Structure 1
Amino acid sequence: MFGALVVSAGLAITACGDAQEVTVVDRPDTTSVNTNYVSNRAPLAPSSFVKLPVGAVKPEGWIKEYLVRQKEGLTGNLGEISAWLQKGDNAWLSKDGKGAWGWEEVPYWLKGYGNIGYILNDPKMIAETKVWIEGTINSQREDGNFGPLRGGDSLDYWGNMIMLYCLQSYYDQTQDQRVIDLMTKYFKFQLTVPDNKFLSSYWQKNRGGDNLHSVMWLYNRTGEPFLLELAEKIHRNTADWTSRGHSLGKIKNRKHKRDNVAEWPLWYGDQIDWHNVNHAQCFREPAQYYLLSKDKNHLKAAYENFDIIREHFGQVPGGMFGSDENSRPGYDDPRQGIETCGIVEQMNSDEHMLRITGDPFWADHAEKVAFNTYPAATMPDFKSLHYITSPNMVLCDAANHAPGIDNSGPFLMMNPFSSRCCQHNHSQGWPYMVENLWMATPDNGALAAIYSASTVDMKVTDGKSVKLREETNYPYEEQIRFSVETAEPVKFPLYLRIPAWCSKAKVSVNGKPIGAKAVAGKYVRIERKWNDKDKVTLDLPMELSVDRWAKNHNSASVNYGPLTFSLKIKENYIKKASDETAIGDSKWQDGVDTQKWPSWEIHPASEWNFGLEYDAKDLAKSFKVVKRAWPKSNFPFTHEGNPISIMAKGQRVPDWKIDEDGLCGELTDNPAFDGQTQEIELIPMGAARLRISSFPVVK
């Protein structure tokens, strides 16, 4: 994948006319530097794309509806529910770093909560965010350290890594110099810590890439040389995500293999860690360090990390991989799942990788995860969530499903109090995606990076302000309409990503075709003098496709454009008391009315054990796409709101049942079908909280 996707082919196609230049490019040209937004400063490798300040992009359509539901749901109310977010005796609000409550939970939650407040311009959320920001700034001590004191002689820096994201978002909004001062003083403190006491414990050692990101963020704003020395130190002390061939002892995550796996496979030594969130979050660290080292082997290692886990545990639809908690040899069926933390960290990593490499693959992948896997991890009202979400998942209850999944406890039901990491960390997924819908380019232009209805106010060319408006119901619609709002004509390049799945994309400007072929997996760059009310139309015709997972019993998944489809299973929701079904480490504040925050089991109310029957040579004959009106709720990720179905043919597999672990039975090589062909309905994965997404195939 690295060779095909990272090496740029340069400018491939040019068409000129009407004072308009159109080129089709693999990557942006980084020989120039954006002068309107903070980009990578030498000696760092140049920025491929530049993140805009939080709040520059305003969501519309379904993605705005998601943020509103988060605000009114668990994200917006967690400060009054979670024990870790109570202000009394909280180490994040303590000058000496001591308190009963204080680790990752506050900054995990604040990453999303604060940014939703900034994006929606919500005064209450912004004011609440500032309480925690002020407490964090005031917690800095004489030695430069800040936040909770954890870890004894070898301090724990992990919680601070997350809070640095929150401080950067706050700085975007306020330009408060105290953020720069705090980070400068803190990083000088980190430089004094001996290597043998720096990033020495498990979580922070794996996740040093987040510390590295913040050091580079600050360097790009101050140019302080000591920050490059610290960047070297962080990489040196972070788990080596470039390395291969480890002994089992070197791999520090909890390890387990299935009884029928005789020996630990050699390939298991090719990753330093197999914890699902660590991998989704940390596989990118070598690419982050590449910005300083400029060693392409570091960039290559990040791509290889992504590939390795998917080769062995990711032969499933939806963009993720089957770890549950930790990837275990012998457990690779599509019933294995991913933490909600792992989902949102993967989306964040994809967005980082897009900005670092310029590779459109990462935007494609962010869409795949966001549209197909993430929506099913939460209830539609965003008031409770899963710990584990799987491509094949036919029962969500409060039972213990270990060892079928790598967690003992009620990890499959929807519960607002369970799984304290995901309970707080889920909040970043949608707001971070909103912030990365648009990016600035090295040549002072604009990139429509990830597609969703939105507007963006940004500076182009020599600092001129423009507003770009994007109207669409994508990924449920094939057309995306852009319009330009500008007080005066302004010349700048507009980049449009052509998804790899789309072979027949078309682009027009003010109703006229651009005169160059839009190529899948590349960017169309349109440079012209733009006038107020100019319009650009991007047509992305969606086609049916089937993925065959050769390493997973040759099972099949059905796609329509960027959407993957699941069997429609009737869902029976059963309300449960959250304080009776939550996992053991759940803690909520005294006086919380848990009845207002119920949990839900979801049981199947229709047959689910179907195999797929289709003609690979004639997909149009095998599958009928049915489209309906856009939902009045502006929310398509439910059975009721879903506007697209696929009618297909299937046969039941009578022996495919819920097994002894209470999970969807595993796929087999030669299932026995009942021979009775039936019509079945498929709906998008994101709309299906119970689902079969990877089907056995009728031969």
Structure 2
Amino acid sequence: MHQHLESTVLKASSCSDLQKCICAMLNRAVFALVSLSFAFVRAQNVTGLAPKKFLSLPLGSIKPAGWLHDQLLVQTNGLAGHERDFYDYVAQSDWIGGDSYYSSLEEAGSYWFNGMVPNGVLVDDPTIQAQTQQFLDYVLDHQDSTGWLGPEVNTTKPRYLWGRYPFFFGAIQMVEANPSLTDRVVSALYKFVALANTMLHDGEGLEDWTKTRWEDFVITLQWLYDFHPNGQEDILIDTMKMLKWTGDPWEDVFKQEYFPQEAVENLQNPFPVLTWHGVNMAEGLKALPATYRFTHNQSDLDAASLGWDLLFEYHGRPSGIYAADEYLAGLEAARGTELCLVVETMFSGSYLYQVIGDPKFADRVERITYNALPATLTGNMWSRQYLQQQNQIAAKNMTPDPFPTDGPYSNVFGLEPNYPCCTVNHPQGWPKFVSNAFVTTADQKSLVQVYLGPFSTNTTLASGNKVTVNVDTLYPFSDTLTATITAQKAFTHFVRIPSWVSNATISINGGSPRAVSPSNGLQAVSAKAGTTKFVLNLPSNITIESRPQGSVAVHRGPLHYAFDISRSQKVLAQNAEETQAVDLEFDATEAWQYAIDPSTLKFNSAVPTGDKLPSPIFDSGLPPFTITATACPVNWTIAGDTFAAAPPTSPACVGPTTDITLWPFGATKLRIGEFPTFEST
């Protein structure tokens, strides 16, 4: 949760290593004294911005195709595409000037705008495009004479910077999609930058959420520097530095000696408490690569890479994401993951890949997108959770619940379970995955397909080389991908080969398949002037991931597999203005207490009728891929009265063996994703 949407802040009660915490706090105090010195900020002898490894393409250059296009249409026809029509926090009357902290650029409107701009462009929806244009016009038309954007909620509330940052991302995307907006948007941003720079030097605008999310503003400033410097390079760099040196110290948060190795509710955070907040952590992953661009320090990239690894080592989930039921939650399967955290980690991972170039970031984003994101939404995307669980045997009002900070309604599928932030923020997930699926190399001579799935792209590379690429695939529900490239001039095209692929082959222009030979995760394809066609075959083995208490998780390719528990459904609430917006309770209608024998796992593939997937694809019984396992019932207790206890270690079978079917995690709404094991022979 975020700035005005949260009333509870975790109060740390103890420290696992008191001496370490004291040292960290002393270091932080010294760091603050030094970093707040304007002389220190000015003393940085670095000019310009370091280049990124890869450059993103403007919004609209990449479009979803096939089942991914269907998925964007499901979102458009679901909750995300209709919030403007009925949802209080983003209805037009609440956009600007309302008394609610949620209105306009305080949070909700800013989030909504950031996600719906790319949604409207990617599916070419005129209604959504008109709504986002109206929102942009209203915000810019009502810019304060001082440069402030957004409402003055009342005469006593200070101006805080953070709520505008998602709006900036949305405005940038609108300029990319419609360059005629450039002058108006850039002019408004510079007026705000001048004001923000003065505020930062005066110590204003810096409440806790701004201090932890400073990197989003830095990225906006870097966009201005890269594309519209307008002779303002000095103030842009100075504002970047002020944001960093007045913000939370992510380079220290991500150090091995300070990073929490378990759920944090009983630990003392040596840094500001919000750095261990799940969504702040997701956004903070961008901080150090953004810092690197103006410091040019390799240590910033090293710290960012280490922080990414530590986060998933100590809090990661087989679904690709990490656990934070408000704050970092360790490895136990019943703990929760917030939906906002999912989409923010996807976006941060794309940014990390573009700056650093390590394929581990792209691999992780693809896993999250095809597992954790759809798992926390109903198939029709009209209801969403606040928190998803790796082992989730019910979605209902739970008392007690397994979440130390979040409420008992948190895993209900609904309009606004727990806090409302995820209702307005989740729509950025799918569109930004699509819009980051291709990049160019830094010299803009080559095109790179980062994410695997059905896409098309149309762009111009260096020397005016117009290139189009059409990718035909059912991936991740197929192992085969066909790409057709049309180019005016010869160039080198790259496609990512995921780390989980085994014995992959490529066939170019009908030639015999040959083994791929990727470098740093990328397979080079020599594309000639005219048309080049290549076919990738990307087989994967079933793999087993070790989890706590001796349990295991099952994977094949990018997909994590789970036992899809049959469920009953009860409507708990229905919105008065929009009857499709409902709160749903799900209860298990079959036994779920199984151990599996990993040696018996078998992959099964059903060819879709007409080579087309069902829409929506992420719901019970719909994906064409499954894995079967020999299983047996075991004694597995319920904690409280509605959630699964930790998987039993080395349990005995209490009934005969049977075969169970595991389905892609994203299609399950109640599930077991981490199993105890036994030997059936």
- State the TM-score, normalizing by the size of structure 1: 0.83
What is the DSSP-based 3-state SS (H/G/I as helix, E as strand, rest coil) of the residue aligned with 2:460? strand
Indicate whether 1:163 and 2:167 are aligned. yes
Q: How far off is 1:426 after superposition? A: 0.6
Q: Tell me the distance in 1 between the aligned counterparts of 2:541 and 2:520.
A: 16
* Contact 1:243–1:270, Cα closer than 8 Å, also in 2: no
What is the DSSP-based 3-state SS (H/G/I as helix, E as strand, rest coil) of the residue aligned with 1:193? helix
2:500 equivalent in structure 1: 501
2:658 equivalent in structure 1: 678
What is the DSSP-based 3-state SS (H/G/I as helix, E as strand, rest coil) of the residue aligned with 1:645? strand
- Structure 1 residues 167 and 92: alpha-carbon distance in aligned structure 2, compared to 1, 3 A threshold: farther
Q: 1:625 aligns with which of 604, 611, 631?
A: 604
What is the DSSP-based 3-state SS (H/G/I as helix, E as strand, rest coil) of the residue aligned with 1:398? coil
Which AA in structure 2 matches 1:119? L
Q: Which has the higher helix share?
A: 2
Matches within 5 A, 1:275-290: 275-290=277-292
Q: Please, which runs of 5 or more residues in structure 1 have no aligned partner?
A: 1-40, 258-263, 580-591, 616-620
* Contact 2:254–2:307, Cα closer than 8 Å, also in 1: no
Q: Tell me the distance in 2 between the aligned counterparts of 1:98 and 1:371.
A: 34
- Structure 1 residues 194 and 353: alpha-carbon distance in aligned structure 2, compared to 1, 3 A threshold: closer
Which AA in structure 1 matches 2:280? N
Q: Tell me the distance in 2 between the aligned counterparts of 1:520 and 1:127.
A: 44
Q: How far off is 1:297 after superposition? A: 1.3
- Structure 1 residues 574 and 272: alpha-carbon distance in aligned structure 2, compared to 1, 3 A threshold: closer
Q: How far off is 1:167 after superposition? A: 0.6
Q: Tell me the distance in 1 between the aligned counterparts of 2:390 and 2:362.
A: 21
C-alpha distance after superposition, 1:567-622 (max 9, x if no partner): 1321222222236xxxxxxxxxxxx435342221111111111112133xxxxx54
C-alpha distance after superposition, 1:218-249 (max 9, x if no partner): 11113322211111111111211111599x99
Q: How far off is 1:194 after superposition? A: 4.0
What is the DSSP-based 3-state SS (H/G/I as helix, E as strand, rest coil) of the residue aligned with 1:307? helix
1:291 equivalent in structure 2: 293
Indicate whether 1:635 and 2:616 are aligned. yes
What is the DSSP-based 3-state SS (H/G/I as helix, E as strand, rest coil) of the residue aligned with 2:644? coil
Matched pairs, number: 621
Indicate whether 1:578 and 2:574 are aligned. yes
* Contact 1:467–1:485, Cα closer than 8 Å, also in 2: yes
* Contact 1:401–1:407, Cα closer than 8 Å, also in 2: no
2:244 equivalent in structure 1: 235
Matches within 5 A, 1:214-613: 214-223=220-229, 224-225=232-233, 226-244=235-253, 256-257=265-266, 264=267, 273-314=275-316, 316-328=317-329, 332-418=331-417, 419-443=419-443, 444-486=445-487, 489-513=488-512, 517-519=516-518, 522-532=521-531, 534-549=532-547, 552-578=548-574, 592-613=576-597
- Structure 1 residues 384 and 505: alpha-carbon distance in aligned structure 2, compared to 1, 3 A threshold: same
- Structure 1 residues 520 and 643: alpha-carbon distance in aligned structure 2, compared to 1, 3 A threshold: farther
C-alpha distance after superposition, 1:452-486 (max 9, x if no partner): 11111111231132211000000111111001234
* Contact 1:313–1:321, Cα closer than 8 Å, also in 2: yes
Which AA in structure 2 matches 1:300? D
* Contact 2:325–2:335, Cα closer than 8 Å, also in 1: yes
Q: Tell me the distance in 2 between the aligned counterparts of 1:680 and 1:535.
A: 40
2:41 equivalent in structure 1: none
C-alpha distance after superposition, 1:546-566 (max 9, x if no partner): 1112xx123211111111100
* Contact 2:371–2:559, Cα closer than 8 Å, also in 1: yes
Q: Tell me the distance in 1 between the aligned counterparts of 2:464 and 2:381.
A: 39
Q: Tell me the distance in 2 between the aligned counterparts of 1:633 and 1:403.
A: 35
1:200 equivalent in structure 2: 206
C-alpha distance after superposition, 1:302-322 (max 9, x if no partner): 1222222323222x3111122
Q: How far off is 1:404 after superposition? A: 4.1
C-alpha distance after superposition, 1:362-384 (max 9, x if no partner): 11111110111110111111111
Q: How far off is 1:255 after superposition? A: 6.5
Matches within 5 A, 1:76-91: 76-88=81-93, 90-91=95-96
Q: How far off is 1:102 after superposition? A: 5.2
Indicate whether 1:687 and 2:667 are aligned. yes
C-alpha distance after superposition, 1:325-356 (max 9, x if no partner): 1125xx63111121110000010011111111
2:178 equivalent in structure 1: 174
Q: Tell me the distance in 1 between the aligned counterparts of 2:485 and 2:477.
A: 23
What is the DSSP-based 3-state SS (H/G/I as helix, E as strand, rest coil) of the residue aligned with 1:547? strand
What is the DSSP-based 3-state SS (H/G/I as helix, E as strand, rest coil) of the residue aligned with 2:276? coil
- Structure 1 residues 320 and 449: alpha-carbon distance in aligned structure 2, compared to 1, 3 A threshold: same
Q: How far off is 1:137 after superposition? A: 0.8
Which AA in structure 1 matches 2:124? N
2:678 equivalent in structure 1: 698
Q: How far off is 1:98 after superposition? A: 9.8
What is the DSSP-based 3-state SS (H/G/I as helix, E as strand, rest coil) of the residue aligned with 2:275? coil
- Structure 1 residues 457 and 336: alpha-carbon distance in aligned structure 2, compared to 1, 3 A threshold: same
Q: How far off is 1:360 after superposition? A: 1.4
- Structure 1 residues 404 and 178: alpha-carbon distance in aligned structure 2, compared to 1, 3 A threshold: closer
C-alpha distance after superposition, 1:55-109 (max 9, x if no partner): 1111112211111111111111101221111222532699xx9996652101111
Indicate whether 1:664 and 2:644 are aligned. yes
* Contact 2:291–2:300, Cα closer than 8 Å, also in 1: yes
* Contact 2:371–2:560, Cα closer than 8 Å, also in 1: yes
Q: Tell me the distance in 1 between the aligned counterparts of 2:646 and 2:205.
A: 40
- Structure 1 residues 194 and 445: alpha-carbon distance in aligned structure 2, compared to 1, 3 A threshold: closer
Indicate whether 1:649 and 2:649 are aligned. no
What is the DSSP-based 3-state SS (H/G/I as helix, E as strand, rest coil) of the residue aligned with 1:317? coil
2:42 equivalent in structure 1: none
* Contact 1:499–1:521, Cα closer than 8 Å, also in 2: no
1:30 equivalent in structure 2: none
Q: Please, which runs of 5 or more residues in structure 2 have no aligned partner?
A: 1-45
* Contact 1:498–1:520, Cα closer than 8 Å, also in 2: no
2:218 equivalent in structure 1: 212
Q: Tell me the distance in 2 between the aligned counterparts of 1:572 and 1:423.
A: 24
- State the TM-score, normalizing by the size of structure 2: 0.86
What is the DSSP-based 3-state SS (H/G/I as helix, E as strand, rest coil) of the residue aligned with 1:85? coil
Q: Tell me the distance in 2 between the aligned counterparts of 1:73 and 1:133.
A: 23
- Structure 1 residues 470 and 98: alpha-carbon distance in aligned structure 2, compared to 1, 3 A threshold: closer
What is the DSSP-based 3-state SS (H/G/I as helix, E as strand, rest coil) of the residue aligned with 2:225? helix
Q: Tell me the distance in 2 between the aligned counterparts of 1:307 and 1:433.
A: 21
Which AA in structure 2 matches 1:530? A
* Contact 2:289–2:352, Cα closer than 8 Å, also in 1: yes
Q: Tell me the distance in 2 between the aligned counterparts of 1:454 and 1:93.
A: 40
- Structure 1 residues 516 and 648: alpha-carbon distance in aligned structure 2, compared to 1, 3 A threshold: closer
1:189 equivalent in structure 2: 195
C-alpha distance after superposition, 1:8-50 (max 9, x if no partner): xxxxxxxxxxxxxxxxxxxxxxxxxxxxxxxxx9721122111
- Structure 1 residues 185 and 352: alpha-carbon distance in aligned structure 2, compared to 1, 3 A threshold: same
Q: How far off is 1:520 after superposition? A: 8.0
Indicate whether 1:112 and 2:115 are aligned. yes
Q: Tell me the distance in 1 between the aligned counterparts of 2:320 and 2:102.
A: 39
- Structure 1 residues 494 and 519: alpha-carbon distance in aligned structure 2, compared to 1, 3 A threshold: closer
Which AA in structure 1 matches 2:553? S
* Contact 2:47–2:294, Cα closer than 8 Å, also in 1: no
* Contact 1:250–1:272, Cα closer than 8 Å, also in 2: no
Indicate whether 1:142 and 2:145 are aligned. yes
* Contact 1:241–1:271, Cα closer than 8 Å, also in 2: no
1:5 equivalent in structure 2: none
* Contact 2:162–2:213, Cα closer than 8 Å, also in 1: yes
Indicate whether 1:66 and 2:71 are aligned. yes
What is the DSSP-based 3-state SS (H/G/I as helix, E as strand, rest coil) of the residue aligned with 1:162? helix
